[in-house]
Amino acid sequence: MIRRYPNLCIPITIGRVTFRNRMFSTPLGGTDIMNDGCIGPKSTAFYELRAKGGAAAVTVSECMVHPATDGSHAYHLDESILNSLACATYTADAIRRHGAIPSMELSHSGMYAGTYMTDKTKQKGLNQWSASACTRADGVEVKALTKDMIRDIVAAYGHVAGLCKRAGFEMIMIHGGHGWLINQFFSPMFNHREDEYGGSLENRCRFAVEVLKAVRAAVGPGFPIEFRLSGSECVPEGYDLDEGIRIARQIEPYIDLLHVTAGTYQKTFGITHPSMFEEHGRNVYLAAEIKKHVKVPVATLGGLNDPAQMEEIIASGKADVVYMGRALLADPFLPRKVTENRDEEIVRCLRCFTCMAERAATATRRCTVNPLIGREMEGSEVVPAPVKKKVLVAGGGPGGLYAAWTAARRGHRVILCEKEGEVGGILRGEQALPFKYDMYRLAGTYRLLAERAGVEIRLNTEVTPEYVEKEAPDALIVAVGSEPLVPPIPGLDGENVIIVNDYYKHVDAVADDAVVLGGGLAGCEIALHLGMQGKKVRLVEMRDRLAPDANVRHRPLLLKEIDKYVTVHLNHTALEVRPDGVLCRNGEGDNALIPGSTVICALGQRSRNDAVNALMDVAPFVRVIGDASRVGTITNAVYWGYHAGMDV
């Protein structure tokens, strides 16, 4: 078979273990951890799906090696805990039986132990330990580890590595990056020790080397040990790439695979997990440079979701392995689609951070574009329906497309009608914003998947009660979405006004000075786009904060970008739109003209209630989904769409 991406598909042998291709699954942790630290069954199913999807290695995340000094909410592996070893063994089995290599990440959070603890847990008196004493940004006092404690932690790494091997894991990843304990020893930001663990580079690497020696002693020769290293800490006060290269050379003799990541969780979140404002693969340069200085194979990662780009990375020798995290949440079957030349079917990650925000907010897993994530135990197979039905879907936004695709996979005859000339719903508008282009592309992918599953798509076709009567479907899925809110502000119907959903059609008509009315997520992103084009843009918001509807991970990164490009007017209520700007009442009760020749109205959305009400009673089975039911997010639309398709 001639493979479209041959280099990604070549097996690689690391230590004595052969991996089926070059696409590995990163640690993705933080959920379904039992109270005693055991790996919960949902997590086992989650990792199994990654293996089924074709990844060559699947890394189970963050097993904390030393609970006495690290009370993080993470997995533990401890033979004194009933079930601990069994849960790990079932997890390794679940990965191995699909041909992937199970790997376990061993970690210690050091000073960041329990970062997500509530005040109640903090009061329980858990201590934070690091290379040196300091006060954390949130006020928590951190103590310096004694040499006895260091010895204990090193021994724990070895002990837990031995247990991993016993459980059937065939590779160990030592987490030495992202600002966790080993990184804290490497870093001039955190390590101010004056003994043999501080000062010179060799001394700052001593802890890592001792850990690696203990792990090797436990797992024996030929067993692959991987080291996760931030190639640079990416802040001036941290170590840079030159020092990253020297650290890599210090640890190289003790490892089989060097995994080059970037930055720290606390200080460079949007680089460590490249946000939508960064280039795809923006951290590859770190691996490529370090690879020139070491002989062990090198892995790279960070915002990778395009097979062509990943193929080039391997083909050009920038790295030997590519890791993916979020790309495999969005589509666990990405590696299989690559090996089977079906890459056009890949559902790409949007880098929207719903996954990480949910983890922080509710300790669950969720992905905007993949409704199965976090629910793998409920069954990831779409099974054929016993009775085949005729299903009509009204609306071709993300919700309608996902519902249609799901129903068609169950064997139903599905017709999707979209009243406009193109599917995508609100996502059509994202084509104007380069940082959200993956969101625009999503609709095209869902459309392709739906059509390949047999969905008939009828464009320029509005679903009305009469239309439903004529088609006489057994089931109707109402996915007609929402429309923009345009309040009765004088002048908002003027020629200088563009309504948010139409922005993409009129980008070129926007003057060099513009006002965006409405500082929610949608308004912020349009203002940012205008600012990035060099326009003078002013963002007007009546509340005292921007983008409260953005998730907790995306919001700070968005606000950082807004700071660079946009003038913000909070506590400003629009009174009148004029040809030269928007007259507002400011927080002091005074009137002020916010100047701008074009005004973009981004004041929110409301469900298309009239259309919904007209369609509620026209078929035996009717389900309203997505924004038509409640204005929300793509996550809701896709999730409800999936279940509507399953419930028909």
Ligand X SMILES: Cc1cc2nc3c(=O)[nH]c(=O)nc-3n(C[C@H](O)[C@H](O)[C@H](O)COP(=O)(O)O)c2cc1C
Ligand Y SMILES: Cc1cc2nc3c(=O)[nH]c(=O)nc-3n(C[C@H](O)[C@H](O)[C@H](O)COP(=O)(O)OP(=O)(O)OC[C@H]3O[C@@H](n4cnc5c(N)ncnc54)[C@H](O)[C@@H]3O)c2cc1C
Where does this chain bind ligand Y (CB under 6 A)? 352, 368, 394-400, 417-420, 425-427, 429, 462-463, 479-482, 500-501, 521-522, 605, 608, 611, 626-628, 632-635, 637
Residues in Cβ contact with 193 at an 8 Å cutoff, skipping those fewer than 6 apart? 131, 132, 144, 199, 203
Nearer to ligand X, 72 or 130 (CB): 72
Distance between CA 575 and CA 490 in Å, rounded? Answer: 7
Residue 431 binding target from ligand SF4, ligand X, ligand Y, none, CB below 5 to 8 Å by type: none
The site partner of 417 among ligand X, ligand SF4, ligand Y, none (C-beta below 5 to 8 Å per kind) is: ligand Y
Interface residue with ligand SF4, options 25, 43, 354, 605 (CB under 6 A) = 354
**Under rule CB under 6 A, residue 355 binds ligand X:** yes
324 near ligand SF4, judged by CB under 6 A: no
Cβ neighbours of residue 242 under 8 Å, at least 6 residues apart?
none
d(CA 89, CA 99): 16
Decide whether 323 or 503 has the Cβ nearer to ligand Y: 503
Pair of tokens at residue 115? 């970062």
Judge whether 458 and 417 are in contact, CB under 8 Å: yes
Integer Cα distance of 587 and 542 in angstroms: 9
Shortest distance, position 605 Cβ to ligand Y, whole Å: 5
CA separation for the pair 142, 119 (Å, rounded)? 16
Answer with the entry of ligand Y, ligand X, ligand SF4, none that 496 interacts with (C-beta below 5 to 8 A by kind). none
* Residue 445 binds ligand X, judged by CB under 6 A: no
* Residue whose pair of structure tokens reads 């965006």 in the numeric block: 516
- Closest distance between ligand SF4 and the C-beta of residue 132, in Å? 34
53 binds, options ligand Y, ligand X, ligand SF4, none, Cβ within 5 to 8 A by partner type: none
- Determine how β-strand 12-14 pairs with β-strand 17-19: antiparallel
Residue spans of alpha helices (H) in 363-494: 398-409, 437-452, 465-471
Binding-site member from 7, 14, 24, 30 for ligand X (CB under 6 A): 30
Residue number with CB closer to ligand X (299 or 453):
299
Minimum CB–partner distance for residue 638 and ligand Y (Å): 8
> From CA 183, how far away is CA 229, in angstroms rounded?
8
Among 367, 417, 475, 574, binds ligand SF4 (CB under 6 A): 367
- Least distance between ligand X and beta carbon 509 (Å): 36
Contact (Cβ atoms closer than 8 angstroms) between residue 369 and residue 330: yes
d(CA 112, CA 109): 5
Q: Shortest approach of ligand X to residue 26 CB, angstroms?
A: 3
Percent helix, strand, coil in the chain, to 5, is 40, 20, 40
Among 329, 582, 611, 618, binds ligand SF4 (CB under 6 A): 329
Calpha distance 115→71 (Å, rounded): 10
Q: Which of 522, 532, 527, 524 is nearest to 558 (CA)?
A: 524
Cβ proximity to ligand Y: between 95 and 423 the closer is 423
- Residue 344 or residue 610: which is nearer to ligand Y going by CB? 610
Residues at the site binding ligand SF4, with contacts judged by CB under 6 A = 326, 329-330, 349-355, 367-369
Residues at the site binding ligand X, with contacts judged by CB under 6 A = 26-30, 61-62, 105, 175, 178, 261, 273-274, 301-304, 324-327, 355-356, 359
